[in-house]
């Protein structure tokens, strides 16, 4: 048996990575350098917890919700299925899922949706595809544990009520945002996308990977 193939579906975190308008921009710097006489290099990071590939903890949109340190980890690792969708202006609805997806989801209860036909826009995408309460209900009926999207939010950019976030949380479906599926073929994989154990945080960046076995 050959070694499993590991596909990195995390976006590269770097200076200039687009963030939600008004959110904290990413910055990395060194506070100690070997070149300056220190015994080791020591870096520091300033960033929003929603930078790049990240999970939304329920606390992000519900003051009574669980923080990033308290979410059940089993939802963020295990069997998943990747699919292409081409949503309408109303968002991603069950009718936009590919034929036969019902059977695929029942065998792999974590769903990753690719809405970009090509590369992501260079800047922040205010016209991103978004999930819908109808999609959340469809997934919950099939006992899905996690929904991941390649956009920066489950809801439309202009949304203030965040209906998809709330409906997913109501059903206990974990939220993974900002994944990079540009080099991934649709199909079944193993997902690992664990949030950091940050007490009191409303989200967390993740290093998300897919494992494809021969």
Q: How many CA atoms lie within 13 A of 14 on its CB side?
A: 5
Element (H, E) at 8: strand 5-8
Rg (CA), the chain: 18
Dihedral (CA of 122, 177, 196, 60) sign: positive
- Is position 60 annotated as part of the catalytic site? yes
Tokens of 72: 């059940």
Catalytic residue among 60, 96, 130, 166: 60
Number of CB atoms found within 10 A of residue 124's CB: 15
Residue 88 per-residue DSSP state: B
Catalytically annotated residues:
60
């Amino acid at each position: 048996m050959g070694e499993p193939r590991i596909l990195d579906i995390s976006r590269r975190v770097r200076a200039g990575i687009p963030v939600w308008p008004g959110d904290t921009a990413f910055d990395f710097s060194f506070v100690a350098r070997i070149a300056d006489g220190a015994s080791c290099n020591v870096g520091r990071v300033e960033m929003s917890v929603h930078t790049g590939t990240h999970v939304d903890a329920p606390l992000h949109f519900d003051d009574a919700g669980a923080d990033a340190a308290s979410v059940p980890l089993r939802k963020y690792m295990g069997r998943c299925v990747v699919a292409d969708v081409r949503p309408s202006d109303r968002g991603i609805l069950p009718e936009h899922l590919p034929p036969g997806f019902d059977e695929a989801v029942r065998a792999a209860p974590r769903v990753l949706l690719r809405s970009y036909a090509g590369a992501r826009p260079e800047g922040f995408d205010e016209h991103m595809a978004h999930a819908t309460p109808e999609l959340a209900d469809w997934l919950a009926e099939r006992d899905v544990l996690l929904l991941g999207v390649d956009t920066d939010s489950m809801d439309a950019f202009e949304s203030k009520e965040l209906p998809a976030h709330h409906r997913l949380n109501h059903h206990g479906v974990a939220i993974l945002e900002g994944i990079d599926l540009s080099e991934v073929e649709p199909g079944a994989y193993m997902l690992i996308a664990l949030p950091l154990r940050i007490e009191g945080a409303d989200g967390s960046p993740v290093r998300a990977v897919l494992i494809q076995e021969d």
